[in-house]
A and B are shown apart, each in its own frame.
Chain A
Amino acid sequence: MARSFLFIPGNVPRMLQNMDVFEADAVIIDFEDSVSASEKEDARLLTERFLTFHEVSVDVYIRINADKALMKADLNAIDSLPITGIVLPKASPDTLNVFEYLNEYKPCHVIALIETPDAFFKFEEIATHTCVKGLFLGGVDLMHALGGTMSKETLSYPRSHVLMAARAHGLYAIDTPWTTSDDDALARDAAYAASLGFDAKAAIHPNQVHPINQAFMPSVKRIEEAKRIVAMHEKHGSMRFSLDGQMIDKPVIDHAKALLEKVHTYQSGGENDV
């Protein structure tokens, strides 16, 4: 599971060319908000050409436009490109209608961007769609729609709700991007999102990726603890035992295994510091 999703404007060649050097676990090539109306077609062409002729060593998603006409053009352009999936903006009853249309496209892998109040009343429809694999909180647009501003407090309910909906339906959960250039605040916010249980956080600048990756990696203490749990489990074959006075059972063992798998994935990818 990716820790960081980096947005890259689809119409900027230098960003496309370097998409796999910023150490993001996944990139989202954007056709929507960061691309002006007059450059939508440029973004489609550039992305199509680049992904057709260059192999990239990172999971690639494309954020298509919410507008139906633009969305259709986007989907036509990316058909047959080697991407992991699509990020669907403003996931709601309206955009849900396009899911059938999306079904014609492979891979059937959609991350639903939850950024309208309406979406919070339609989680069941969104989250149970066959192609939806993840829920992604879009805090900026949501707060704009609510008339509020982004803060730890104002995001508290949306974060909890998205996270619970994701977990209830076995989807992964991606936290909203951080929008200021304060690196320390980003690190704190990312650590907080990780502590809530989010799998990943979105980045809107390459320099946000490293602090996010660090925040979503388990601490040395947690890694050591997970190793001991898995070792005890493998030694005794038991699904229920006591360790340091704590009762360990299947969910804890599964969590420890997942944690070690994550550590293995990202250390062997070279992203960690040592």
Chain B
Amino acid sequence: MFETSVEHALDNLTLNDGMSVSFHHHLRNGDGIINTVLEKLYARNIQGMHLFISAIFPSYTSIIDGIKNGHIHSITTNYMNGPVAQYIYEHGLKGSLTMQTHGGRARAIKEGESLIDIAFVAAPTVDMAGNASGAIGKSACGSLGYVMEDVAHAKTVVCITDTLVETIDDPQIDGRDVDMVVHVDSIGDPRGIVSGTLSITKDPIGLKIARDAKRFLLQSGMIQDGVSFQSGAGGISLAITKEFVNILNDKNLTASFFTGGITAYHVEALEKGLVRDLYDVQCFDAAAIESIGKNAHHRAISADMYANPLNDARHIKDLDIVILGAAEIDCDFNVNVTTDMHHKIIGGSGGHSDTAEDSKLAIIVSPLFKGRMPLIKKKVTTITTPGEHVDVLITERGIAINPRRRDLIERFKDSHLPVMSIEMLLEKAHDLSGEPRAITPPEKTLGTVESRHGKPLATLFRKG
């Protein structure tokens, strides 16, 4: 069924109080669908909805109105920051907040734990058979990886597009799963959908960490022909990606695949023949979007194929090395990327704990200080990624190997790299900053951080 406006589409859908509606975040801060659809649902006075959204970006401010007026009762997401996160921290939800992982979300959908009544899918291009792709169109965002599982399992799927074509050769979404297509003038602002070019950090501390990460990787013995690798889009991660690609080039090696979020640096490696395939759940910049539309070895994959722990064919099961960040880490190597020290939500796992658990070598890279506060705590309150899955912490002042990795400790025992215990690193931090006073969590609970297997990992708190 084709419709020409969201309003008309809603007229033809069964809308109930308490229904679960899903959205994806691939259009990032340029998304024009989430706010539009939610406002129209509010106008119809749909109450008590469960918002099931892969991530919440700062521009998705209509969510706040929905919480205030009782339209949104509870939220399940993998990541959030900005005004919505701030509002939820300050005012809470009528229901609860569940923070999942990318793989955990896919698992929960497939297992029937997370039920979706209507999936509203912003789709950059749709064809006459309802097939959709994120790789082409005036609002192209590249991969639609995080919504593929929603489409496959939602009771009703509505694709909203601003580019309708006769046929799509290589669709990311199968038209047979789509119940309705809505053709609108615009699904978003391309300026907010992607960054033009993501930049490697110029911060000397970040670059020092990247150099030590390179040295660690070289000495780890992990970089062999066929190695697989994942890193994020942060400035330090990009610096390490560049170093990693340089190593491949210098040693005349070819990586098997890079996965996760893809950037120009990954694309450049593919084009130079330094990696065989890019398995892309999310394009981070314009070069990645352009590449996914033209290079057969740059493939959009679903969150299920990326990281669902119950999918034996998931790509990260074969992942050798992952580079991850941290807001806090404790002496048991538990990592928090969900809240700040005041328990305000500042992010979420995304694929953090999925990749840490599955990869052979999970490396956390971070400056030893966040502002004036030490990165390392004796105990973190919010566990996003359990320490048992974290292998190494690299900071500008030293490298700590998880005592569980006796093989790595043995390998680096004679290294001239500054390898030390995490307790020693903590002591170094306290020498410079003093020991910060412990902050007692607020009394009111907000929700739960859930492991990729669906088990509670930590409690989230709200102010007051």
Q: Is the CB of A21 within 8 A of B397?
A: yes
CA distance A22 to B416 in the complex (A): 16
Chain B positions within 8 Å of A274 at CB level: 215, 218-219
CA A23 to CA B208, docked complex, whole Å: 8
Judging by beta carbons under 8 Å apart, are B207 and A207 in contact?
yes
Contact at A210–B207, with CB atoms within 8 Å?
yes
Q: How far is the CA of A21 from the CA of B202 in the complex (A)?
A: 15
Q: With a CB–CB cut-off of 8 A, which chain B residues contact A54?
A: 431-432
Task: Decide if A237 is an interface residue (CB 8 Å cutoff).
Answer: no
Which A residues are in CB contact (< 8 Å) with B415?
Answer: 270
Which among A205, A210, A270 is the interface contact of B416 at CB below 8 angstroms?
A270
Do A269 and B215 have beta carbons less than 8 Å apart? no
| B-contact bits for A1-25, CB 8 A (1 contact / 0 none) | 0000000000000000110011100
The secondary-structure label for the interface of chain A is loop
Q: How large is the interface on B (under 10, 10 to 19, 20 to 34, 35 or more residues)?
A: 10 to 19
Shortest CB-to-CB span from B429 to chain A, Å, is: 11
Evaluate contact between A22 and B418: CB separation under 8 angstroms: no
Given contacts A17-B432, A273-B218, contact A207 B204 (CB under 8 A): yes
Mask of B211-227 contacts with A, CB within 8 angstroms, 1/0: 10011001100000000
Q: A97 in the interface, Cβ–Cβ < 8 Å? A: no
Residues B416 and A268 in contact, CB atoms below 8 Å apart: yes
B205 at the interface (CB under 8 A from A): yes
Residues of A within 8 A of B208 (CB): 21-23
Which residues on the A side are within 8 Å of B417 (C-beta)?
270
A82 in the interface, Cβ–Cβ < 8 Å? no
B204 touching A22, Cβ below 8 Å: yes
Tell me if B396 is interfacial: C-beta within 8 Å of chain A: yes
- Chain B, 43-66, CB within 8 A of any chain A CB: none
Residue in B211, B397, B418 whose CB lies within 8 Å of A210: B211
Q: How far in angstroms is the closest Cβ of chain B from A218?
A: 18
Known: A18-B205, A18-B396, A207-B204. A270 touches B219 (CB 8 A): no
Q: What are the residues of chain B within 8 A of A160 when measuring CB–CB?
A: none
- For B399, the closest partner residue in chain A by CB is A270
Nearest CB in chain A: distance from B432 CB, A:
6
The residue on A at minimum CB distance from B397 is A21
B202 neighbours in A (Cβ, 8 Å): 207
Q: List 8 A-B contacts (CB under 8 A).
A: A18-B205, A21-B205, A21-B397, A207-B202, A207-B204, A268-B416, A270-B417, A273-B215
Other A-B pairs beyond A207-B207, A210-B211, 12, CB < 8 Å: A17-B432, A18-B204, A18-B205, A21-B205, A21-B208, A21-B397, A54-B432, A207-B202, A207-B204, A210-B207, A269-B416, A274-B219
